[in-house]
Amino acid sequence: MTFLFSPKVRPFVDETLESYLLRVVAENFFGSYEELSLAIREELHELDFDAHGAFPIELKTLNVYHAKHNSHFRMRALGLLESLLGLPAFELQKLALFKSDKSFNGASAVHRDGVDIPLCYIRYSDEKGKSSIPICPHCLTEDGYVKQVWHIKLIDVCVKHRCNLIHHCPQCQQPLNYIENESLIYCSCGFELSKAEASIASKGDIALAENLMKAEYSPNNPLFQSSSISQRFAALFWYQKRYSADSASCLKEAGTFFSHWPENFYDELDRVSENAESKLIELFNHTAFHFIYGDLISSLPNLNAHEKEPHFIRVALNLYLTRLVERNPKSKKPNVADLLISISEAARILDTSHEQIYRLYQDGILRSSFRQKMRNRINPHIGVFFLREVIEYKCSFGRDKQRMYLSAW
Binding residues vs Zn ion (CB under 5 A): 136, 138-139, 158, 160-161, 169, 171-172, 187, 189, 191
User: Which one, 67 or 154, has the nearer CB to Zn ion?
Assistant: 154
User: Which one, 132 or 356, has the nearer CB to Zn ion?
Assistant: 132
User: Which one, 186 or 266, has the nearer CB to Zn ion?
Assistant: 186
Least distance from C-beta 199 to Zn ion, angstroms? 13
Q: How many CB atoms lie within 10 A of CB 85?
A: 22
Q: Is 64 left (phi over 0), alpha (psi -120 to 50) or beta?
A: alpha
Least distance from C-beta 19 to Zn ion, angstroms? 14
Adjacent-strand bridge partners of 396: none
The CB-based long-range contact list for 5-12 (8 Å cut-off, 24+ gap) reads 5/85, 6/85, 6/86, 6/87, 9/143, 10/87, 10/91, 11/87, 11/91, 11/92, 11/94, 11/95, 12/143, 12/145, 12/147
User: Which one, 158 or 339, has the nearer CB to Zn ion?
Assistant: 158
User: Which one, 119 or 136, has the nearer CB to Zn ion?
Assistant: 136
Least distance from C-beta 206 to Zn ion, angstroms? 11
Listed in sequence order, the residues at least 6 apart from 154 whose beta carbon sits closer than 8 Å to its beta carbon are 121, 212, 236, 247, 250, 251
Nearest residue to 339 via CA among 359, 324, 358: 324
Listed in sequence order, the residues at least 6 apart from 80 whose beta carbon sits closer than 8 Å to its beta carbon are 44, 47, 48, 51
Least distance from C-beta 340 to Zn ion, angstroms? 53
Q: In what order do the strands lie in the sheet with 109-112?
A: 98-99, 109-112, 115-118
Least distance from C-beta 144 to Zn ion, angstroms? 12
User: Which one, 146 or 158, has the nearer CB to Zn ion?
Assistant: 158
User: Which one, 12 or 73, has the nearer CB to Zn ion?
Assistant: 12
User: Which one, 196 or 341, has the nearer CB to Zn ion?
Assistant: 196
Least distance from C-beta 169 to Zn ion, angstroms? 3
Least distance from C-beta 145 to Zn ion, angstroms? 11
Least distance from C-beta 139 to Zn ion, angstroms? 3
